[in-house]
Amino acid sequence: MNFNKLSIIGLLILFVSCQEKKASKTTAENYFKEQKYEQALNELDKLIEQEPDSVSHYGLRVLTYSNLGMFREEIKDLNKIIELNDNKSITAHNERAIAYIRLGENEKALEDINYVIDNKEDTEGISQVYIQKASILFTLNDFENSKIFYNKALEINDNNDKTITSQALIGLANISDNPKDALNFLNRAIEIDTVSGLAYGARGAIFLEQENIENAFKDFQKAKKYDSYNPDIHFNIGQLYANYSNEIDSATYYFEKAIKLAPQAQNNDMINTNLGVLKHRSGKLDEALEHFKTAEKLNSKNDLLLFNYSMLLSDMGKNSEALDKINKAITINPKDPEYYNLKGSILIGQSNYEDAEQTFLKAIEINPNYGAPYYNLGYLNSEQNNIRKAIKYYNKAVQLDFDLPATLVNRALLLFKINQSQEACADLNRALQLGRTDIKSLIERKCG
């Protein structure tokens, strides 16, 4: 299971003047301070319409857009600030880089952060800029240079600002290949800054990957306490509830909260995918379908999304559409045997047994120890009355411990057909012990 790495994102700081109309600006500022961002935005829209060249007004609206997760709108206002300042606003370039990071447009973010480094006239705040560059390089998989800039930030900061030191250590933890080293970095980060929601969130994510659920939950709760507006933290709490405690309502709440906090964030395709899976699991198929549609609009190259989307469409009886989605997933990632297994099942639903058999065999070729395609080949051959061939595949599925209650019953029914009643009854009794109470009458009738 993949969990979000928590990106290091600096705080937005824009200096605003007091030369605007006092009443309207004061109202907007008050709304902003009270975290009534929609009302603040309405006031600022009116104010900018009246005074369209005020950097101050755009600056406050940038802050408002940022807190609403409206990063594209934020970038438009930052572009305007840069234009009004004749391309000389270092702060606007820096904040535009952060907005691009949040949208996943990391090449553009790197251009802006390099502009800041090249044009900054003093070293004040340079450690934070280096951390931002390191974070961008990390997302671009340039781990070597990312590490260099995190270490530069540590060297220049020299423990003067505990937040900077903590953020750099979190970044180094993200780069670490060894979970033990990563935890050491994060433990140091928390010792230095005991109220760093980012550090607790990153450590919680590692605990979650290690299935240390108790410690993950504790860290996520602290992360939420100290950084309640971080969508990645809410995403990972949702992952915990969805995958480890099966609390669907709680998982749904945190996934939806993550989207609300950052409606344009780069990973919202995965969050909508997760919501689609949860709705599918709950039998809310139409709601699941809407989430998958949204996810595909955000990222049509997400093979895991397409796999889950295809599974839903198949369960809704839309096999042609399901086949289209799973074919796209296989094109993107041709090495996942589960994708071929699902495709084979869809082809069975279309009575295309020949292609289904070849597809299941492809899944086995990729992973000979994956039990599902053997089970499905057993079912396929039994449907075609190839009894002994079907039994051979069921035998392999049993060897791999794949869904034994179902596999044993299916094999037993075929064994009866070739007069191997003793073996068939042994399978049925074993399945009964594994919880198949529905076969009691069959055992009484066939096995005495």
HEC assignment per residue over the chain:
CCCCCCCCCCCCCCCCCCCCCHHHHHHHHHHHHCCCHHHHHHHHHHHHHHCCCCHHHHHHHHHHHHHHCCHHHHHHHHHHHHHHCCCCCHHHHHHHHHHHHHHCCHHHHHHHHHHHHHHCCCCCCHHHHHHHHHHHHHHCCCHHHHHHHHHHHHHHHCCCCHHHHHHHHHHHHHHCCCHHHHHHHHHHHHHHCCCCHHHHHHHHHHHHHCCCHHHHHHHHHHHHHHCCCCHHHHHHHHHHHHHCCCCHHHHHHHHHHHHHHCCCCCCHHHHHHHHHHHHHHCCCHHHHHHHHHHHHHHCCCCHHHHHHHHHHHHHCCCHHHHHHHHHHHHHHCCCCHHHHHHHHHHHHHCCCHHHHHHHHHHHHHHCCCCHHHHHHHHHHHHHCCCHHHHHHHHHHHHHCCCCHHHHHHHHHHHHHHCCCHHHHHHHHHHHHHCCCHHHHHHHHHHHC
Range of the domain at 18: 1-117
Query: Does a structural domain hold residue 39?
Result: yes
Report whether pLDDT(77) > 70: yes
- Specify the pLDDT at position 124: 83
Is the pLDDT at 166 greater than 50? The verdict is: yes
In a domain, 187, yes or no: no
Q: Quick one: pLDDT at residue 246?
A: 85
What integer pLDDT is reported at residue 12 of this predicted model?
Answer: 34
List pLDDT tens digits, range 233-251: 999 999 999 989 889 999 9
Is residue 337 within 8 Å of residue 302, measured between CB atoms?
A: no
Q: Does some domain include residue 206?
A: no
Query: How does pLDDT run across 96-110, given as a tens digit for each residue?
Result: 999 999 898 999 999
The reported pLDDT for the residue numbered 11 is: 32
> Whole-prediction pTM value?
0.79
Is 52 part of any domain?
A: yes
Quick one: tokens of 96? 């535009």
Predicted confidence (pLDDT) at residue 369 exceeds the cutoff of 50: yes
Burial of 393-425, coded b for 16+ CB within 10 Å and e otherwise, reads: bbebbbebebebbbbbbbbbbbbbeeebeeebb
Q: Give first-to-last CA distance, the chain, whole Å.
A: 47
Q: What are phi and psi of 116, to 5 degrees?
A: -60, -45
> Number of folded domains in the chain?
1
Q: Is residue 287 part of a domain?
A: no
Question: What per-residue confidence (pLDDT) applies to 134?
Answer: 95
pLDDT at 160: 85
| pLDDT digit string, tens, across residues 47-60 | 999 999 999 999 99
Domain assignment present for 108: yes
pLDDT category, 270, cuts 50, 70, 90? very high
> Does some domain include residue 61?
yes
* Tokens representing residue 163 in the block: 């937040």
We report the CATH number of the domain holding residue 71 as 1.25.40.10
Q: Which residue has the tokens 């949204």?
A: 294
Residues 20-52 have pLDDT tens digits of 344 478 898 999 999 999 999 999 999 999 999
Residue 420 in domain: no
For 315-336, the pLDDT digits (tens) are 999 999 999 999 999 999 999 9
- 245 or 252, higher pLDDT: 252
pLDDT tens-digit series, residues 379-428: 999 999 999 999 999 999 999 999 999 999 999 999 999 999 999 999 99
pLDDT tens string 274-287: 999 999 999 999 99
